Amino acid sequence: MFGLLLVVGFIIKFFWWLVAAAVAVGVFFAVRAVMRHVGERGLAAAREAEEIAYRADRQNRMAQWGDPRGVYGVDGADVMRDFASEPQGQPDIVPDGPAIAALADTADGLLTLLKDKPPGWRWAAFASVLVQRRAGVRARLRDVRLGYGTPRGGAGSGAEVAHFVTTNLDELGKLVDQVESFMRTPAFMEVFGQRGDEGTADAEGILHVANRLMDYHERFLSLAERCRDFDGPSRYSGLMRDCRQLTNTPLDGYDTFVDDFVEFLTHMPDMMRYGRGTLVADPISLHMSIDDGLLKRIRTGIRAAARDG
């Protein structure tokens, strides 16, 4: 039973097409996710290749947007700032044309966005829901990452600890599978309408799918809180620490996804105003991947706890 630990190497990619001349933006959702058995070498190699591709996509996107992290990497960009200050350029002259949609960080702002529907509104509306929902649980997210909570429940034996960890990791795998299935449904993609025609987008549907995506986020958060608050014998503290690290992984993936989406929106006006023809941007990914060393420790810890009885 305890040897059948499943985990996910999971990437959902958002490929963006920007039709600058028409002042419209479209997206095609290409979704792929793979459930992997721990210990399968071929799939482990494939996961490593996906990790490299994911990091390359992010770095290339940063370079396109003029972010020094895209050229020097995160650490290199910090070093370069110590040697050379950021150049002070002249303010851009904004060409004539309609205002481009921007992120709405309040409920009233979102209502205004949906009423006015400026170019790019469908992506701004989707991102606005993600940002507002995440802001609503910000304190809980901080506490989870700090490991701050109130112990509740618990176990007195190794078998009970092993059962708790296995049950929660099984739930984690099911949640990831549900997110994958949700985003693969035609109904999820249809709400955004046709690629070059924002008039075909369904505003109510966009809010609905964005809220459902963040409902899953809250379920991941609740699972992480449950593992944080579990009160077991101190000899299993290492296993529980690894369990908490594992259940935090989807939350980290959501954070990166939302932050990348917001950053994309900040660059969308320039791409739509100054671009010509159809522009293809690098994908934005909802990415969840687990370190193999962490998985090995968890599997070993579960087996050891189960043997203790």
- DSSP string spanning 83-140? HSPPP-PPPP-PPSSPPPP----SHHHHHHHHHH--TTHHHHHHHHHHHHHHHHTHHH
Instruction: Map residue 168 onto helix, strand or coil.
Output: helix
In a domain, 93, yes or no: no
C-alpha separations of 26 from 67, 121, 257 in Å: 24, 11, 18
In a domain, 90, yes or no: no
Torsion angles phi and psi, residue 221, rounded to 5: -65, -45
Q: Band of the pLDDT at 65, cuts 50, 70, 90?
A: low
The percent of residues above 90 in pLDDT, for the chain, comes to 41
pLDDT at 137 over 70: yes
In a domain, 222, yes or no: yes
The reported pLDDT for the residue numbered 32 is: 32
Q: Band of the pLDDT at 18, cuts 50, 70, 90?
A: very low
C-alpha separations of 23 from 65, 113, 116, 192, 275 in Å: 19, 16, 15, 16, 9
In a domain, 59, yes or no: yes
Q: Per-residue pLDDT averaged across 170-174, rounded?
A: 90
pLDDT at 91 over 50: no
pLDDT at 55 over 70: no
Q: Which strands, in side-by-side order, build the sheet including 278-288?
A: 24-37, 6-19, 278-288
Q: At which residue do the structure tokens 């947007």 appear? A: 65
pLDDT at 79 over 60: no
**Which one is predicted more confidently, 91 or 88?**
88
Q: With contact defined as beta carbons under 8 Å apart, do 166 and 1 qualify?
A: yes
pLDDT at 147 over 80: yes
Q: Band of the pLDDT at 67, cuts 50, 70, 90?
A: low
Q: At which residue do the structure tokens 């112990």 appear? A: 151
CB-CB neighbours of 185 under 10 Å: 11
Q: Per-residue pLDDT averaged across 209-219, rounded?
A: 97
Q: Per-residue pLDDT averaged across 248-265, rounded?
A: 91
In a domain, 47, yes or no: yes
pTM of the entire predicted model: 0.75
**Which one is predicted more confidently, 211 or 184?**
211
Q: How many domains does the chain have?
A: 1
In a domain, 89, yes or no: no
Tell me the residue range of the domain where 28 lies.
6-83+100-308
Q: Band of the pLDDT at 28, cuts 50, 70, 90?
A: very low
Arithmetic mean of pLDDT over the chain:
77
In a domain, 236, yes or no: yes
In a domain, 297, yes or no: yes
pLDDT at 104 over 90: yes
The reported pLDDT for the residue numbered 148 is: 94
The reported pLDDT for the residue numbered 244 is: 95
